Amino acid sequence: MDSNFNEPSNFMLNLTSGPPKKRKKKIDQQYSKDVPLPQSSNIQQLFPKKNTEMSPQPPKKNFQTFKQKTVHPEKGSDSTNVKQRAVPHGKAFSSLFKSNPEVHPLVVRKQSSLSEPLFSAKTFEEMNLHPHLISCLKSRMDIVRMTKVQENTIPVLLEGDDALVKSCTGSGKTLAYAIPIIQKFQEMEPKIKRSDGVHALVITPTRELAIQSYETFSTLTKAFTWIVPGYLIGGEKKKSEKARLRKGINILICTPGRLLDHLDKTSCLSLEKISWLVIDEADKLLEEGFKDSVRRILSKCNKERNSVLLSATLTKEVENLADMSLSDPKRIDVASGMNPTHFEDFAIPSNLKQFLVVVPSKLRLASLSGFIIDNCMKSSMKALIFMSSQNTVDFHYNLFTGVLAPLLLNKGHKCKFFRLQGSMKQEERTEIFNIFKKEKEGVLLCTDVAARGLDLPYIDWIVQYSAPSSPEIYVHRIGRTARIGKRGNSLLFLLPSEAKFSHLLAEHRINFEEVTTDKFLQPLLLISDLFNFRSKVTAEDCATALQTRYEKEVHEEKELHACAKDAFASYIQSYASYPKGLRHVLPFKALHLGHVAKSFCLREAPSNLRGSVPPKKHNGKRSGFDRSSEKSKPMKRKFQATVSEFDSGLSFISSGSGQQKKKRKKN
């Protein structure tokens, strides 16, 4: 791999290379917004001849002559190709297959993966549980045999010990703490009443996981009708939640923010009687935004209680929380045995096949479309596709339902698209979650709101269209498939500049198989007849035709065009917000903004899209994209007036502050 991936400063120097006297001329150079379509007879048939034919005559008034500058950020150098061309405004299209960075095969040494036994040889009948509870597990949930995490955890909790539990995704951790709670509550004399209030508190990071956990408790308590579970989540009316609390809830499942809101404003809610505290997905709850909430909740809880912390990945911060909230806990790691010394390695289900593909920005959308077409036309598929932001999810959902779904329907294949992201109304989120859960095929486009704990049946594929912000999140995302012994597949998309993320996965003993982009472009030939080609076509022709249809839809539909601009802006912003510790493998400065815009079907230059980037604060400081504050003006980044699609869009760094220029001159 090129060393410039590790040295963003060298990359920026290359963008501004050349004698100082000529630098200003480069910055002020006027470039076209569009680049003409490659000379391919098959592609030219898609458009009127006048739009693609190059004129040998001098340009007319509605034409403009320009110099085409090609920037190769991954190579660390500029290559300028000067051509005199006459191109009608807004009528030409840039090629998907030109000026892309080279993709080199990954060289990653396979590690001995950490294996975790899933099922136990024991059954629930061998445990000292109430017969009605065993019957409920068998008749209502079709569960007889325990998993290893249940075998190790349930006896510890029944004995009254605290526990810190780590087990791979889909191993049955919810039942590992739900069964002991129900068993202990049904033993209480006199019987627990709903008017007694909250005796068990379960905290989860997402609303969907809270609802799923509530459904598990509701099923188990059908054998003991006097035990009442309930939930509190954001997005619902507080009035109805207060009514449920006044009526009485014994087992409360909630998200931390909503719980604190009620603790401050609802007098009938108290945590002074709780005998059980469960923190599910504990590592997520301790991320930024949740830490203070969890600490405030702990301060209001009864000190005499049993406490359990669970996750598929546990961090040092969770260990610190365990020391603060647990009393001499038993540390349970199914992969390493009881009381392990560390939790750094991740156990991946053995029946999960992991794949990785390195795709240049401009080919990302065509490659993802080829993946969907291939799987939907060969066999029914149920997949989750994780994306970086809410706007990105909305854009691709609207694009696929408007273009890709009709194309597949013309070929006799139905492909249902769903979306799930945090800004949706709670009623809609719950409805989509329940519908998709029952479906046997379909594609759910989602953010990380669906990455934790959700048990969705029949999932064949997990696709990570954007790189996760940590190996832990990678593990949680792929954990939505291959659950409870079933088979599953995962696919991670990486940009060429992100290739070193594969080494980070290897450090955590995560193995994968690399595939090439061609594997996802070849299936586009299955729909080649829908583009009215008159001669033999290639996968590149089909990819270009599909991309053109996408761009036409975005260009003609104002709402979709606005959605694309918002998605582009949020993608750039979310990329810039990756943790500092990952910037050497996910380098923001290596992004080619023109190519990224192409992946969102935008024909405008990045400089013209900058206005849609919303301001964002980090640790009290505004980001470099903010233009609203007078104080931020000296620090704002200046784009060129117009740049070609081949320009990275990062050339504006050359007009930075005087101190930055001096540093570059010294280097």
Distance of CA 321 to the CA centre of its chain: 26
**Within 10 Å of residue 239's Cβ, how many Cβ atoms?**
7
Q: What is the mean pLDDT of the segment spanning 102-126?
A: 85
**Within 10 Å of residue 290's Cβ, how many Cβ atoms?**
17
**Interatomic CA distance for residues 557 and 2, integer angstroms:** 40
What is the value of pTM for the model shown? 0.74
Q: Of residues 611 and 323, which shows the higher confidence score?
A: 323
Which pLDDT value is given to residue 343?
Answer: 52
**Interatomic CA distance for residues 556 and 216, integer angstroms:** 47
169: its two tokens: 């995704």
**Within 10 Å of residue 615's Cβ, how many Cβ atoms?**
13
Which pLDDT value is given to residue 605?
Answer: 85
Answer positive or negative: Cα dihedral of 528, 529, 530, 533: positive
Judge whether residue 262 has pLDDT over 50.
yes
Tell me the HSE value of 272 on the side-chain side, using a 13 A CA sphere. Answer: 5
Q: What is the mean pLDDT of the segment spanning 386-403?
A: 97
Which pLDDT value is given to residue 5?
Answer: 36
Residue 622 CB burial class (10 angstroms; 0-12, 13-18, ≥19): middle
Judge whether residue 65 has pLDDT over 80.
no
Q: Are 120 and 151 in contact (CB under 8 A)?
A: yes
378: its two tokens: 């060969």
Judge whether residue 499 has pLDDT over 50.
yes
Q: What is the mean pLDDT of the segment spanning 638-667?
A: 38
Q: Which helix (H) or strand (E) holds 147?
A: strand 145-147
Distance of CA 468 to the CA centre of its chain: 6
The contacts found for 483-487 with CB under 8 angstroms, 24 or more apart, are 483/169, 483/170, 483/349, 483/455, 483/459, 484/118, 484/147, 484/170, 484/171, 484/172, 485/118, 485/119, 485/351, 486/351, 487/351, 487/352, 487/353
Which pLDDT value is given to residue 356?
Answer: 97
Q: What is the mean pLDDT of the segment spanning 539-545?
A: 96
Query: What are the backbone dihedrals phi and psi of residue 563, each rounded to the nearest 5 degrees, phi first?
Result: -65, -40
Residue 454 CB burial class (10 angstroms; 0-12, 13-18, ≥19): buried
Which pLDDT value is given to residue 22?
Answer: 42
Confidence of residue 117 (pLDDT cuts 50, 70, 90): confident
Which pLDDT value is given to residue 336?
Answer: 66
Which pLDDT value is given to residue 625?
Answer: 36
Calculate the dihedral angle through the C-alpha atoms of 92, 95, 98, 100, rounding to the nearest 10 degrees: 120
Q: What is the mean pLDDT of the segment spanning 111-129?
A: 85
Please report which residue ranges of 237-354 form alpha helices under DSSP H. 238-247, 256-265, 282-285, 291-300, 316-325
Hey, which of 58-62, 163-167, 364-368 has the most confident mean pLDDT? Answer: 364-368
Which pLDDT value is given to residue 311?
Answer: 86
563: its two tokens: 């959605």
**For the segment 309-325, what is each residue's pLDDT rounded down to a tens digit?**
998 887 777 877 788 78
Q: Is 606 helix (H, G, I), strand (E, B) or coil?
A: helix
Judge whether residue 174 has pLDDT over 90.
yes
Which amino acid appears at position 15 of this protein? L
pLDDT, the chain, mean: 80
Judge whether residue 116 has pLDDT over 80.
no
Judge whether residue 521 has pLDDT over 60.
yes
Q: Under 8 Å CB-to-CB from 514, ≥6 apart: which residues?
A: 105, 106, 355, 356, 357, 358, 502
Q: Are 398 and 563 in contact (CB under 8 A)?
A: yes
Q: What is the mean pLDDT of the segment spanning 370-375?
A: 97
**Within 10 Å of residue 583's Cβ, how many Cβ atoms?**
13
Q: Which residue, 400, 373, 368, 402, is CA-closest to 386?
A: 368
Q: Under 8 Å CB-to-CB from 408, ≥6 apart: which residues?
A: 373, 376, 377, 414, 415, 527
Distance of CA 265 to the CA centre of its chain: 34
Q: What is the mean pLDDT of the segment spanning 509-523?
A: 94
Q: What is the DSSP string of 466-528?
A: S--SSHHHHHHHHTTSS-TT--EEEEEEE-GGGTTHHHHHHHTT---EEE-THHHHGGGGGGG
**For the segment 327-337, what is each residue's pLDDT rounded down to a tens digit?**
899 999 887 65
Lowest mean pLDDT among 72-86, 93-107, 169-183: 72-86
Confidence of residue 270 (pLDDT cuts 50, 70, 90): very high
**CA distance to 59, 227, 630, per residue, from 203 (Å):** 67, 19, 43
Beta bridge partners of 529: none
Judge whether residue 123 has pLDDT over 60.
yes
Which pLDDT value is given to residue 353?
Answer: 95
Judge whether residue 636 has pLDDT over 50.
no
Which pLDDT value is given to residue 595?
Answer: 95
To which residue do tokens 């980090």 refer?
618
**Interatomic CA distance for residues 282 and 297, integer angstroms:** 14
Instruction: Report percent pLDDT > 90 for the chain.
Output: 58
Please report which residue ranges of 557-592 form alpha helices under DSSP H. 558-576
Judge whether residue 127 has pLDDT over 60.
yes
Lowest mean pLDDT among 81-85, 91-95, 513-517, 566-570: 81-85
Which amino acid appears at position 510 of this protein? I
Judge whether residue 616 has pLDDT over 50.
no
Confidence of residue 340 (pLDDT cuts 50, 70, 90): low
Q: What is the mean pLDDT of the segment spanning 374-385?
A: 93
Q: Are 457 and 486 in contact (CB under 8 A)?
A: no
Determine the Cα angle at 560 with ends 556 and 566, to 5°: 130
Q: What is the mean pLDDT of the segment spanning 378-386?
A: 93
